Chains A and B, each alone.
Chain A
Amino acid sequence: MSAIATTGGWIEVGALDEIPRMGSRVVKTSRGDVAVFRTALDEVFALDDRCPHRGGPLSQGILFDRRVACPLHDWVIDLETGKATGPDDGCTGRHAVRVEHGVVFLGLAADPA
């Protein structure tokens, strides 16, 4: 996975425990809604909260492994790359995240891609 160029520094969005395992929360940002996901293994990923297909809110989908199924038409998006998996074609913007001492920080991408 390639590094994400961020802009505007790291934004604190809350404690890791506020995001349910195998779940996600939405963060309202200057760049629109960002979905922050927490996997079963406590990895954290952030994507624009828009499915590349019809703009469905990915934060509302069912999470498994490092993937989320969009609630609108069941496209499965890879959390690491933001890309649609399987034969579907499309990509949603990624943002940087890091977790330190149980606190989640979001680094908005300069150019989400």
Chain B
Amino acid sequence: MNETTKPRLVLVGNGMAGVRTLEELLKVAPDRYAITVIGAEPYGNYNRILLSPVLAAEKTVDDIILNAPAWYAERGITLRTGVEVTAIDRVKRRVVAADGEAFPYDRLLLATGSSPVMIPIPGNELPGVVTFRDIHDVERMLAAARAHRHAVVIGGGLLGLEAANGLLKQGMDVTVVHLLDSLMEKQLDAAAAGLLRRSLEERGLKFLMGHQTAVILGEDRARAVRFTNGTEIPADLVVMAVGIRPSTQLAKAAGLYCERGVVVSDTMQTYDPRIYAVGECVQHRGQSYGLVAPLWEQARVCANHLAERGTSRYQGSVTSTKLKVTGIDLFSAGDFLGGPDTEEMVFQDAGRGIYKKLVIRENRIRGAVLYGDTLDGSWYFQLMRDETPIADIRENLLFGQAHVGDSGHGDEAARVMAMPDSAEICGCNGVCKGDIVRAITEKKLFTLDDVRAHTKASSSCGSCTGLVETILASTVGEGYDASPKKKPLCGCTDRTHDEVRRAIVEGGLKSIPEVMHALEWQRADGCQKCRPALNYYLLCAWPGEYEDDGRSRYINERVHANIQKDGSYSVVPRIFGGETSPAQLRAIAEVAEKYAVPTVKVTGGQRIDLLGVKKEQLPLIWGDLSQAGFVSGHAYGKAVRTVKTCVGSEWCRFGTQDSTTMGIRMEELTWGSWMPHKFKMAVSGCPRNCAEATIKDLGVVAVDSGWELHVGGNGGIKVRVTDFLCKVETMEQVLEYTAAFCQLYREEARYLERTAPWIERVGVSYVRERVVDDPESRAALAARFTDSQRLAQQDPWKARAEGADAHEFIPLTAGEPAQETHA
């Protein structure tokens, strides 16, 4: 399509929500529209949320520009700044500017934002009375700060306090006037508000609580403020920060249905389907939002529909708030007040100035207020949005994530902002804090994915994700786009792992193309992220029926060996339970010599690793190993890896049970099973636990009276000790519980989710319910596992030694250069 035939998209409002929608649109449909952007302010798009730091002289205007004019030019977008749109002509489909210029549209996007509320009192038109909304307001406040002394901020909410703090930093004498007795009543309970007020007072702010402004006094500019109780205070500058009102005049005048805001549907369309609206001007399901995260969720949905993909819906947002006053940590989300049907958990440490409150209903977090220590704000928020049951972590919940199972990175996160720029954050890719901060500021990054793409931090093992998120959140402030409640499986779809999986099972979808078609995949081939996930989900849902798609498997699983940094492979034969024999060792030694294997190494899982094997040699080596009775060790796959054992009662003077036999039997039961991620087991013969069973996905510890089963451990990136599942008496029971647990994990964990995060997500109580408390559920799970194992236990090495997938292992041979005989 050329420029003249493309449909025209006009955006009214050059702010964060509108431009973000364009960015999202260009990502999925770069050439669909001829786009015109009309903005009333004379700037490119800037980050309005960071006006407070500009006022506080912590940032400059240039720092907060998100899209400079060049950004529009590079994308062929027509940008008109300083132009005020005064009418929408829906019949002729054009918008008209104040000077009469008309802009025709095929689709119209309204992002007119909101305007600050001006209290209707005498004197509010005097010079020196301002609101706090745009760069112009900030400039007027800065000018006042240079020439005058007394500032009065009317409104003790988020915006008012940020304005007051900024003016204080500019050297003014600032009084905050608030109608109610408690600051930020929409975000804080009385206790937190009291702490906040005290620390702001310590900084020099003055407060007049329970005061209502009656009149602003002055002749040629503001001089004083008088209250309804008759008292008066001097005021050279009066900042009105009592709230915002969605800007609906334009929409209303055009006959679009408006209530408090422009009313939109779940597809972000107004009552005129050609006209979309996003941002602070809209009202969706009765709600208007003034925070950035909801605007971005709206932008994503709106872009999806503008691109005519029609697959996503906006279903409202759960929001959280942080106050951007340097040195004051405050976080609030959800229903922080609670009611008769809720319970509260409160932590208070007056000495350190810390207050935390969680509001709980039906075993889930419904709201949170944190003051003084907000490190865990995003974690509580995540638990709240995911509606994670908290019974299992309740006793340590208030102490934070660092104290809950995952011996994670809470303490590191606390230190992270104080770290020097040279501190290495991502150990896998060698990315320092300074690199991340620089990329975020220079490239204007907002999301974790952006930071991953640009810096590689947190893109490998993911263990530094929390740190990177902390850096991101504190670098961009409120503009931080916390991962949406619903995280899509990958960029090819809006659907989550769980939704895709449900569709496969319930819709009877049996191949990757079928899934992609039914779920409207946005890329015909999918990508390297979704195809392996889909392949696994199909394999798990339809054992025996679904034909494994090698092209959708990562190389290691496609060729059944582990790729090394030089492109060679490693081969690990299965040694059940780690118990071997002279004959086995001899066979491995012979193979190693025959093929001149450069390195032979004993692994952490009690196996022998042959490293540095050339790809062409693999089928030959496998043939020899197969002859000697070995099968694949699956050391390369998202699969059952190893069962590590100690010698147990057969030899050990402390052993209580035959742990080696137990381990061998568990491995015989489970080998060959594909899993959402790698899966390791261990069996220890006594509580001394020499096989380190309590950091495995499934660990068995023998005691005198039977076997203890432990689940969800991890000895990798984040060490996590297992949760105790239950105790059983016989080997047969261990096997049945093992099969049931494996199958529950296979069926319900998301692809690439280890058992540790899975169990933290669903709770060990849930696992206990399905595997321990309900014998029928356990038997059904175990039966499905055994059924899928019938086909999984065909050795892939033997098949390839006999010629399967030969093309994977043999290069093409180049012929002689041909003469130009082909016309």
Contact = CB atoms under 8 A, between A and B. Distances in A.
A41 B565 CA distance: 31
Interface string B785-823: 000000000000000000000010001111111111010
B453 A87 contact: yes
B818 A105 contact: yes
A57 B615 CA distance: 11
B567 interface: yes
A112 B729 CA distance: 67
Given A69-B528, A76-B528, A87-B453, A9 B807 contact: no
Contacts of B63: none
Interface in B539-570: 550-556, 559, 563, 565, 567
A25 B801 CA distance: 19
A107 B414 CA distance: 57
A24 B526 CA distance: 17
Contacts of B525: 22, 39-40, 63-65
Interface in B413-460: 453-454, 459-460
Contact of B555 (A20, A29, A60, A73): A60
Contacts of A73: 460
B203 interface: no
B524 interface: yes
B531 interface: yes
Contact of B551 (A14, A21, A74): A21
B527 interface: yes
Interface in A53-68: 54-57, 60-65
A61 to B, nearest CB: 7
A36 B812 contact: yes
A22 to B, nearest CB: 4
B313 to A, nearest CB: 27
Contacts of A56: 567
Contacts of B556: 71
Looking at B552, B555, B563, the one whose CB has the most chain A CB atoms below 10 A away is B555
Interface residues of A, number: 44
Interface in A38-58: 39-40, 54-57
B563 A61 contact: no
Contact of A12 (B532, B565, B811, B815): B815
Q: Which of B556, B563, B817 has most A Cβ within 10 Å?
A: B817
Interface string A68-94: 010111101000000000110000000
A106 B818 contact: no
B439 to A, nearest CB: 9
Interface of A: 8-14, 18-23, 25-29, 33, 36, 39-40, 54-57, 60-65, 69, 71-74, 76, 86-87, 98, 100, 105-106
Given A9-B817, A22-B551, A60-B559, 13 more contacts: A10-B817, A10-B820, A22-B525, A25-B811, A27-B811, A27-B812, A54-B565, A62-B532, A62-B552, A65-B524, A71-B554, A87-B454, A100-B822
